[in-house]
Amino acid sequence: MNSRILHIASNTFREAVRDRVLYNLIAFAVLISGAAILVGEISIEIERLVVVNLGLTAVSLFGVVIAIFIGIGLVSKEIEKRTLYTVLSRPVRRWEFIVGKFLGLAGTLVVNTLFMAIGVFAALFYVAHKLSAPDALIVVALYFIILEFLIICSLSLLFSSFSTPLLSAVFAFSLFVIGSFADDLRGFARVTHGITKWFATGAAYLLPNFSALNVISAVAHQKHIGVQLILQNTLYALVYAAMALSGAVLIFERRNLK
């Protein structure tokens, strides 16, 4: 890969770490430990179900918050603080900057998720006193959560390339909420008629489908996750993120840095 992209990605990762983003891990550790101890006390027979549900949901929410709040500032903050001037006056193309920033944030989220995953497994071990084969499905759910982060990162970056941080946060968070109910939107599109059907179908395909990436409940109930779904979701997330990133590049390539 282009070395300039890697340097930009590595600097973005370093920024996130030094700006104490990973402090959320401490909050996560406190939350998950407290929950595990509490669940151990009050739940009978369903400790595993509760810990997996709670743990993975927390991993997802913590990551989404980080993806949005770092992602929306990736470009706008650099323009506002003018740190971008000394980068783009070097032999760095604008698309390289965008891709580098995306990879840096994605890397931050992957590392963050890995640490949180250790917390989830530790809590699970605490309440169940063992790890069994079905617990491997948790890894699949974590992988889907990372795919979800990739889409949110790319959308945050897209909004950041033309909008203010506040509006970008509103747009990105709204898309996350709407995308989490994408299955309902598709269901509505199937039962409705006329122009509403067209509109609902179009919106269902355009908006990110986070429902398909959410297998937390299935994993908590130890349901099987097919290879086909893994491949489909991987392809979907990569294509969606690539399209959002392309949009960010197209806008940023034409933007005057006043």
Residue ranges binding other proteins (CB under 8 A): 3-4, 7-8, 11, 14-15, 18-19, 81-93, 254, 256-258
Nearer to other proteins, 7 or 197 (CB): 7
Nearer to other proteins, 59 or 70 (CB): 70
Do 59 and 105 contact (CB within 8 A), yes or no?
A: no
Contacts of 10 (CB under 8 A, 6+ apart): 104
Task: Output the smallest distance, CB 42 to other proteins, in A.
Answer: 43
Nearer to other proteins, 83 or 232 (CB): 83
Do 119 and 36 contact (CB within 8 A), yes or no?
A: no
Nearer to other proteins, 9 or 58 (CB): 9
Amino acid 93 reads: R
In the chain, which ranges are E strands?
Answer: none
Task: Output the smallest distance, CB 98 to other proteins, in A.
Answer: 15
Cα–Cα distance measured from residue 122 to residue 131, given in angstroms and rounded to the nearest whole number: 9
Helices 94-128 & 137-160, crossing angle to 10 degrees? 150
Cα–Cα distance measured from residue 71 to residue 163, given in angstroms and rounded to the nearest whole number: 12
Task: Output the smallest distance, CB 169 to other proteins, in A.
Answer: 22
Task: Output the smallest distance, CB 5 to other proteins, in A.
Answer: 10
Task: Output the smallest distance, CB 92 to other proteins, in A.
Answer: 6
Nearer to other proteins, 81 or 221 (CB): 81
Do 169 and 69 contact (CB within 8 A), yes or no?
A: yes
Nearer to other proteins, 3 or 228 (CB): 3
Do 211 and 181 contact (CB within 8 A), yes or no?
A: yes
Task: Output the smallest distance, CB 62 to other proteins, in A.
Answer: 22
Radius of gyration of the chain (CA): 20
Cα–Cα distance measured from residue 11 to residue 92, given in angstroms and rounded to the nearest whole number: 14
